[in-house]
Structure 1
């Protein structure tokens, strides 16, 4: 399985929205998410549509509009985010595979990866992001 740029940006965007939603009850604009997360805005707009359709975020229009999480951070898994923009997860296609043992191996790998990604929540990524930022801030302060 290879995570595409679209999948990577979707994860980054969701972390950005989660960080903002923790600090404020106001929505965050896609322009701000794009700037904070270094994501091209036109690409982020396409991703945001898919995240909204998947029920992960809610959008509001208007001058103070933007995006907020529709669920709690701990209720959103990496699988939810990736599948919202990529579709079903598959390590490798098993259709047409002539070797049953190899086919079973791919099925096991798919289940294991799915289980792992399902166990990682947006809340986990949020705290990792906060810890990483604090660590970088401390390093900058020491230098």
Structure 2
């Protein structure tokens, strides 16, 4: 019998879990329990109040992704040492938004979302990226 070497997993150790992903993990159970979200309406409501907290943008982003993807994004329990594909994608989107890299944002959004949802999800991600230190 020959031992098969396990390929190195794509997932990162806990030291590499971005702070915004850790915060989203804590919010995920609450977002999953909420009612369905009309993405356009949620963005319109949030945009009228400049003092909206990062948590509101995070909740809208998670709930909006659940609607657009047709499933709840996979977020591990707080403290888990690995990133799911969804968590890595969200972290990349927030990083691109924070550094103002619109090309990377467009690529990431187009890679997973239907055209009609890209603008709203991109806007929510950009707003959250600006406020992620408040999470």
So what's the TM-score if we normalise by structure 1?
Answer: 0.25
Decide which structure has greater strand share: 1
Larger Rg: 1
